[in-house]
Chains A and B, each alone.
Chain A
Amino acid sequence: MTEDNGFKELYKFTGFITNRVLDGIAAGIQDVLALYPNTEKSYRKIFSIYVEIAQNIIFYSANRIEIPDDEAGYGTLTISEADGAITISGENTITESQKNKLSSIFDHLDGMSVDQIKAAYQEKMMSQFDDMDSKGGGLGYYDIARKTKGKIQAEFYERDGALQFKIIATIETKK
């Protein structure tokens, strides 16, 4: 565990993330967060955001390998705690086409109030999902925005000539 200015890194995994990796970290999160009593009420939200972000890397990272009976997407998952809040971030390579879709979602969410995010989530849910390449049709990002009450950020940048996407979601856990 590293600590910098009160920012405690609880988990950091970089590599090919598979469903078995997701399971292992999920079990660890449950055990480690039990040490932070203020996370008890928000544990379900933390878990669900973690699963959404981890599965996005597994299913959609543009840097992937074929393995038998599972999927493997390369990326970085980080879970940290600071001042009563848990931050979950995910980072992976994306294609230009994925960047356009993600930019559109985050531009839409940018600056929305909590009520506006709820309405946008419900509107997205009610509409026909039009992206058949996506399992959730982008709904997962609206869901994370709703659960974090808008404390969600997206960053796009280039590394070694490849487009990268980073999502940072923060859950306030203070009672």
Chain B
Amino acid sequence: MTENLSKGSEKTPSVDISGSDILIAGRSYPEDLHAFWDDIVSKLENKIQNCEVNKLIFDVSYHNSGTTRIFVNLLKFIEAADAVDVFEVIWRFDEEDEQTEEQGEDYQLFCKKASFKLESY
């Protein structure tokens, strides 16, 4: 069963929870950063805290610096969660997209306890 938290648009990603996986996909440069992200992040953090999810997949082709702040805080939350040892973060990127690959490498720095994998396609 898939729970859809955002359908996604030109400027906002889709956010889905499928089983124990969270998938964030698309672009993120919303017109109002907090109006879009705050409620979604709150629901995701609740599910992480309650061990209802154990995998976060990013498939984001572009995001602005405001969204970086959101992603960083989400990764910090995962690192502080009780079940961090079994949590997996996957950062997907187009193999020709050097920018998104570098961003994945940056986010990897935050994951000391959670597993973090870079996956090209």
Name A residues whose Cβ lies closer than 8 Å to a Cβ of B.
Answer: 19, 23, 41, 44-45, 47-48, 51-52, 55, 70-71, 121-122, 125-126, 129, 135-137, 139-140, 143, 147
Contacts and interface: CB of A to CB of B under 8 A. Distances in A.
Contacts of A19: 31
Interface residues of B, number: 19
Contact of B64 (A52, A70, A126): A52
A48 B99 contact: yes
Contacts of B96: 41
B109 A51 contact: no
B65 to A, nearest CB: 3
A121 B99 contact: no
Interface of B: 10, 29, 31, 33, 61-62, 64-66, 68-69, 72, 96-97, 99-100, 106, 109-110
A147 B60 CA distance: 17
B99 A44 contact: yes
Contacts, number: 53
Contacts of A139: 65, 68-69
A44 B62 contact: yes
Contacts of A51: 29, 62, 64
6 contacts: A48-B99, A126-B109, A136-B65, A136-B69, A139-B69, A140-B66
